[in-house]
Amino acid sequence: MTDRSGLSRRSILLGGAGASLTIASPFVHVTPARADKGEIVVAGWGGSRTTAMREVMFTPFEKATGIRVRDDGPPEAAKVKAMVDSGNVTWDILDTDIPAILAMVNAKLLEPIDYSKLDKAKLGKIPPVLHHPYGLGHLIYSFNIVYNTKAFPNGTQPKTWADVWDGVKFKGARSFPFRGGLSPQLEFAAIADGVPADKVYPLDIERAWASHDKLRPLVTKWYANHAEAIQLLSSGEIDICCTIGPRGLVAKKEGAPIDVEFAGGKLAPDNWAIVKGSRNAEAVYQFLNFVIDGKVQAELAKRIPYGPSSQDAFAHLSEAEAKELNTSPDNLAKQFWTDIDWWGKTAENGKTNNENQIERYARWMVKRG
Amino acid sequence: MTLVAASAVPSVKAARAWRARPGLMIAGALAFCAIVYLLPMLSLFGWAFQGQGSSGASLAQLSRLIGDDTYHYAFFTTFKIAAITTLICALIGYPYAYLMATTGPRLAMLLTAAVMIPFWTSVLARSLAWMILLGRKGVVNEWLTGLGLLERPAALLFNSIGVQIGMVHVLLPFMVLPIWSILSRLDPGLPRAARSLGASPAAAFIHVTLPLSLPGLAAGATLVFMFAIGFYITPALLGGPNDLTIASLIEMVVRDLLDWPFGAMLSLALLGLVALVFACGAAFAGAGRIAGMEGR
């Protein structure tokens, strides 16, 4: 009896399931099993950058895996802190720079990257300097000498940091970054003072600041964000600017009288980082393996002029395209990498070099005024 | 019938309860304020005075603030900028408000519009507009050099001149409106009476109109000063290294250094100073007038 009733119940359930399947069958094709594969949220910078990423990364990834990619942002450290502290983590992956990552590592807001879960062949094409424990470099920006071509036509621009520091030989208003989470440009100060680019680290902090003092009277505006810097350059308010080279190239393409000198530039990565408490670890690594592919990165580089981290990307780019990218083999040789470890190192007072120098920068700015 | 009557009784009772205690009606508003203003304020206090780990209260942040003169300089700069802005606003705003209150209705309307329209534009947009106007190759300098008044472009931007122009422009309505509100309700018979008793126009103004309008001036000055102390965008965009305000440093500490306890301490110090200014203004002009709830 029990057996039979059990059987019959099972058969009823099966029948019911079958019936509902039959009824639902026309919709099965319309709504594929995406919901089951989950969703990841990538916090990035919005604008043309996110649009390009959606086109060459997010949508193809969704098609390939069935995992939905939602974008949000901006990936500010303070926002991540609020999320992690409140236990309401809605972001999985961040697209952010090293200073932000260092601050977040210190505040225990990030998950270390498990490099064993990443594709060895693809990873091998990305310079080892970009394999940070908490961030994998994917899009390379660089601080370069960006200048107004009306003030410096036909290759008369300053070509070294010593030139930028030389207000007699190279007349013109300078602009350097301050605040906005940016560390002081101490490497350039040291190089302008005669330190070779490959011996910049470990930084001789006092020597760099002494050189930085000499820059002060030459600077018209200490800008707080890069868009402002580009605006000042293209309106002719500023002649020489230490800012993000790729941003200068975007403006150049739009017709602004701006160009970029790659020589002496400081390369730094924007990274994929994983938020602590992200619940979709498997999907996150699937995503990372998808987007560190050289071909995918090359497609992105065609849309936004930031350097792809994978050297494999240049196999898919023309020579003319490579010339305007800061990570092409030629341009790479003219520049140096930001030493992430040095900036992230904890000093005697328990803070990182980055935090200490940002604070010292504010102190320098206020007191010398 | 009885059912309807029975259900009507409690609602009448409830209405009576509201009438008997009107304070209940603002309970919702009070709760809103408690959640939106009081709680964050308390957590600000919590951050500023929390000890290392979970070991109770600590004055570490306070002693850091007292010990680091970088922040004292920034507070000083902030107050200096605010004081100069207030002074310039008063010097421009008073005659303007006086004209608004005493002229014919058509011109008064025009003057009001001239004050109010920029008031409705975003501060960021206005600051950026000033950048375009005041720059080395900006409209103002092009004219001045074009007319031969200047040999080389003047430095109007990225220094305290730029900051003052930008801030006065943004804050002027807060000076003009309270003064105008007092002057426009002033009995015009009073200065006229003074004139008829032999006072010169200047004497009538100094001894009658000005003293009567001082509360408006005080209210305007307090408002402008308080806003100027917390100002952030305009000095950051139009200023140079000598115009670094405390608001900029708070932003740096909170957003870049993620040092929320110290950021909270700086914010509380700023809040305390603003409260002090408000208290001084209130003593002179009456708190209601500054808050815009003047009794008629």
Q: Is residue A321 part of a domain?
A: yes
Residue B86: count of CB within 10 angstroms of its CB? 27
A209 & A244 share domain: yes
Residue B295 has what pLDDT? 43
Residue A18 has what pLDDT? 41
Which chain A residue has the Cα nearest residue B238?
A221
Residue A220: count of CB within 10 angstroms of its CB? 22
The listed range with the strongest mean pLDDT (A6-10, A62-66, B252-256) is A62-66
Distance from CA of A180 to the nearest CA of B (A): 7
Token duo for residue A127: 């310079």
Mean pLDDT rounded to a whole number for chain A: 88
Measured between beta carbons, the chain A residues lying within 8 angstroms of B157 are 237
Which chain A residue has the Cα nearest residue B257?
A355
CA gap B217, B232 in Å, rounded:
24
Measured between beta carbons, the chain A residues lying within 8 angstroms of B136 are 173, 236-237
Q: Which residues contact B184 (CB under 8 A, 6 or more apart)?
A: B100, B101
A114 & A170 share domain: no
Query: What pLDDT digit, counting tens, does each position of A208-227 carry?
Result: 999 999 999 999 999 988 88
Q: Give A 23-82 residues with CB within 8 A of chain B.
A: 76-78, 81
A109 & A151 share domain: no
CATH number at residue A150: 3.40.190.10
CB burial readout B43-66, b (16+ within 10 A) else e: ebeebbbbeeeeeeeeebbeeebe
Q: Is residue B222 part of a domain?
A: yes
For B70, the closest of A103, A104, A362 (CB atoms) is A362
Q: Are A245 and A224 in contact (CB under 8 A)?
A: no
Q: Is residue A60 part of a domain?
A: yes
Question: For chain A, how many structural domains are there in total?
Answer: 2
Token duo for residue B81: 């900028």
SS3 B255: helix
Distance from CA of A359 to the nearest CA of B (A): 8
Residue A127: count of CB within 10 angstroms of its CB? 17
CATH number at residue B221: 1.10.3720.10
Query: What pLDDT digit, counting tens, does each position of A218-261 carry?
Result: 999 999 888 889 999 999 999 999 999 999 999 999 999 999 99
Question: Which residues span the domain enclosing B153?
Answer: 60-290
For B255, the closest of A78, A216, A366 (CB atoms) is A78
Distance from CA of B87 to the nearest CA of A (A): 23
Query: What pLDDT digit, counting tens, does each position of B277-288 carry?
Result: 888 888 877 766
Query: What pLDDT digit, counting tens, does each position of B173-203 carry?
Result: 999 999 999 999 988 889 889 989 999 999 9
CA gap A121, A282 in Å, rounded:
19
Mean pLDDT rounded to a whole number for chain B: 86
Q: What is the ipTM of this complex?
A: 0.77
Question: Residue A268: what are its φ and ψ, rounded to 5°?
Answer: -150, 145
User: What whole-number percentage of chain B has pLDDT above 70?
Assistant: 88
Q: How does residue B84 score in pLDDT terms, banded at 50, 70 and 90?
A: very high
For B158, the closest of A106, A220, A367 (CB atoms) is A220
Question: Which residues span the domain enclosing A188?
Answer: 141-268+340-367
Q: Is residue A70 part of a domain?
A: yes
Question: For chain B, how many structural domains are there in total?
Answer: 1
CA gap A306, A270 in Å, rounded:
10
Amino acid at B161: I
Beta-carbon separation of B244 and A221 below 8 A: no
Q: Are A113 and A240 in contact (CB under 8 A)?
A: no
Q: Is residue B259 part of a domain?
A: yes
pLDDT (average), residues B217-236: 91
